[in-house]
Structure 1
Amino acid sequence: MDSNLIKNALKQVKFPGFSRDIVSFGLVREIEVDGGGNALIGIEITTGSEEVPEQIAAEVKEKVGALEGVNEVKVRMEISKPQQQPSPGAPGGAETQAQNNTSMQKVKYAIAVASGKGGVGKSTVSVNLACALQRLLEEEGKSGIGIMDCDIYGPSVPLMLGAAGRPEIANDMIVPIENFGVRIMSMGFLIDEDTPVVWRGPMIMKTIQQFAQNVDWGELEILVIDLPPGTGDAQLSLVQTIPLEGAVIVTTPQPAAFNVARRGARMFDKVDVPIQGVVENMSYLETPDGERQAIFGEGGGAEIAEGLDTELLGQIPLDPSIREGSDRGIPIVISDPESPAAKEFTAIARQILDKLHKN
């Protein structure tokens, strides 16, 4: 019996009262199957309810027990009581998150844009993908794109989207600032431009949790989460705090970038977040005569995608207009939608949208 088949069955077990399953909440800690078809499922949750663990265990036995080749299902449940002021970022704190995080309940899909290495243009990709997704949804008669800038030390999303000011408070919730139809929350709105952020990990995580819990995102089709570079506790805790539909990995072609990005992508395996694909940024420079020059080498994005068993979603050219648009606060998808770079961003956004709608 393949453990992946069991994991797929567990994705049918919803957390009581919510549409999300126990796998996406990161509650499943182990899956073991012996040669006799006996399955052991380890689950870790934080709850003050006696009914919730019983209901989850019963549904796990029902769904897994229905698989061909499974004779017996045992559920090992590790239950922690919530603290007086529980932190949904703690592993297994799905119910705590569910109780306090009514804002995120209105978000249909949340996707992370990540890279283990800084300097690859991850925020540029996040911003242009958000704008491209917004335009594609408008064409379908829908709306609702948000972007959460989780780079606490170097928040650049407000600059790139031409957004400024202090968010308002309404009904004890922070109202995101909006531009180009995209709702934005960033540390950049909350600190002075020249003020450095000198914080330790727990303070950063508290801020990011507030972005998820205390921001009135409203009805969103997709929330794009621009993760900070790296693969430390902050990044791991973040993806455990917010149930993600998937992650997009950003790299540049050279080995120094794609080797780090590949290691960074492995972080998502730990929390059962699927990789939607790889975006290769600064892939080539196109000269006036149409020749493509591989300034930073070539093949890195395809190599990562193959190693992660996913696909290369697209290759963004090295275009000065992308940088100029970011500096002016008008992403190239908005300022020049017919440019090769904007068309590539839009094609990537279309693939992501199609993948989300298929799930």
Structure 2
Amino acid sequence: VVALVREEAALRADVLGLDPYDALMEQYDPGNRAADITPVFAELKTFLRDFVPEAMAVQEERLAKSPLKPLSGSYAIEKQRELGLAMMAAVGFDLTHGSLSVSHHPFCGGVPSDVRITTRYKTSDFLSALMGVLHETGHALYEQNLPKAWAHWPLGKARGMAVHESQSLFVEKQIGRNPEFWRWALPVVERHLGETWSIDDILPHVHRVERGLIRVDADEVTYPLHVILRYELEQELVSGRLEAADLPEAWDAKMRDYLGLSTIDNPADGPMQDVHWPGAAFGYFPSYTLGAMMAAQQWAALTRDHPSADEDLATGNFAAINDWRREKIWSQGSRWSTPDLLERATSEKLNAAHFTDHLKKRYGA
């Protein structure tokens, strides 16, 4: 696979006049370049190496004062589904032009006039399915609000995967893990699940930070390190500086360095855990963390333009928030490159400070 990807990268690079890795990224995020992304990721990596231990220490200190209230472990799937549908409708999903189903891994698909999302359920943990619903609803809102006048033209399509991820993560992280959101959401949870929670009891679950081996299970503090590791390694694989046979050792070295964990005896939880590389999707991984950074930057710009956004969340009023996103992101389709779209929406280029400030405010001392 790596040999074929190198060949593909060379062919794309020749046609597009780009470096091989940039040519691969162009499939997923038109306009993004490694020369721009690498220094931003380097800044973020430096911050996270120090901040992850700090966030975990803060968490342990809080839990020492107030132990974690366990989830009851008896949440009927149908009740969770009704809760998910209520949340979808509240944040703006048009249920007359879409649906919620079940799958092994949550996803969003379909067309703007019929957007299908899925989640997976655990009877022992309602937050798992709910966060999946919120994430996929973010994708769906983008699709449902693309410019209808341009629907049959390339201009009317979603811009790229980083922008798409910014929309899903905006709903899941900026909204769905915001304490103010839970002031409104807890009574909704109580109505559907018959269980009463206080803000102080639910937030430690919503804001849990934990080092782990698996990217898709990571929290928003440690997740970027999983992506940066893959971003660095896949550039080395594409360039030929790293051979596939040496990947397990290279992966293990970075996991030890970034998260203090080892995968050397367990490649299934190391370089074999994702579908991307076996499927030749090199250049895709940066989209995840770029999306998280863009979501934080969009929230910062939105709250600058609309200072009462937190108060709106506390009352379940998503209209002004969605109006801003519709004007700045959704209605623009593919009119601009990813960097241009972000700059036009937020009045600045990609800036890691918004994401790090977001993490410090939510998880720091």
Bin of the TM-score, shorter chain as denominator length: under 0.3
Which structure features the higher share of strand residues? Answer: 1
Higher relative contact order at CA 8 Å, sep ≥6: structure 1 or structure 2? 2
